[in-house]
Amino acid sequence: MIGDPREAATRLIAELTRLGMTIAVAESLTGGLVVAELVSVPGASAVLRGGVVAYATELKSTLLGVDAELLAARSPVDPEVARQMAEGVRRRLGSDGRPADIGLATTGVAGPEGQGGHPVGEVWLGLAMDGVLEARGLTLGGDRASIRTATVSESLMFVLERLPDLATE
C-alpha cells in the first residue's frame, strides 16, 4: 500500500536527524518532487544535501556518472541505472571529501505513453549507502500525476526500510 508522501518525508527527516545522516537525491521521472517533499519538512536542512534533476538521458551520465554505454544499451529505465544514479548523486553532493550518507534515485516512465519498450508505470528506485547498492522495481498504475506521487512515497519508504537501527513496525 502506498502511503502519504508528507508523512513519509516527515518520518525520514526525523530518522535521519536522529541518526546524524545526510541524504542526496537524483530524480528523473519525479522531476524534483522527492526533494520538494523533503524540504517541506521543518529541519530538513540539517540532513538534506540537495538534489539533481537529470531528466534528459545524457545528464544521467554527465552529471551523475551513469555509464553511457549502459544507458545506450538498456535505456534509463533500468535497475542498474537507478543504482548508478543513487551512487553518483551520493558522491556528487557530499561535502568535505565525503559522500552523502545516502543516495536515492528515481527513474521510470510516468506516461502518458511508454518509452523505449517500457510501459507506463515501470519505475526503478536506486539506493546507495555504505555497503548497500540496491534497486527496487515498481509497477504503478494510474495517470502521470498519480504515478509520480506514488514514486515519491515509495522512494521515501524505501530509504526508511533500509536505514540502520530503524525500529520495526
Q: What is the DSSP string of 106-139?
A: EEE--SSS-BTTBPTTEEEEEEEETTEEEEEEEE
Is the pLDDT reported for residue 82 higher than 70? yes
What's the mean pLDDT in 85-100? 97
Is the pLDDT reported for residue 167 higher than 70? no
Is the pLDDT reported for residue 80 higher than 70? yes
CATH architecture, range 5-162: Alpha-Beta Complex (3.90)
The domain limits of the chain are 5-162
13-47 burial: b if 16+ Cβ within 10 Å, else e: bebbeeeebbbbbbbbbbeebbbebbbebeebeeb
Reading the block at residue 155, the C-alpha cell is 522512494
Q: Measure Cα distances from 1 to 18, 46, 114, 140, 157 in Å.
A: 26, 29, 24, 11, 11
Give the model's confidence band at 130: pLDDT under 50 very low, under 70 low, under 90 confident, else very high: very high
Is the pLDDT reported for residue 166 higher than 60? no
pLDDT at 122: 98
Q: How many CB atoms lie within 10 A of CB 56?
A: 12
More confident residue, 164 or 5: 5
Helix (H, G, I), strand (E, B) or coil at 143: coil
| Residue 50 β-bridge partners | 24
Share of the chain above pLDDT 70, in %: 96
What's the mean pLDDT in 25-29? 98
pTM, to two decimals: 0.95
Q: Measure Cα distances from 166 to 12, 24, 58, 119 in Å.
A: 10, 19, 36, 34
Q: How many CB atoms lie within 10 A of CB 99?
A: 21
What's the mean pLDDT in 133-140? 98
Is the pLDDT reported for residue 150 higher than 60? yes
Amino acid (1-letter code) at residue 99: P
pLDDT at 14: 97
Query: What is the phi/psi pair of residue 117, to 5°?
Result: 85, 0
Does the bond joining 99 to the residue before it have cis omega, within 30 degrees of 0? no
Digit-coded pLDDT (tens) for 37-61? 999 999 999 999 999 999 999 999 9
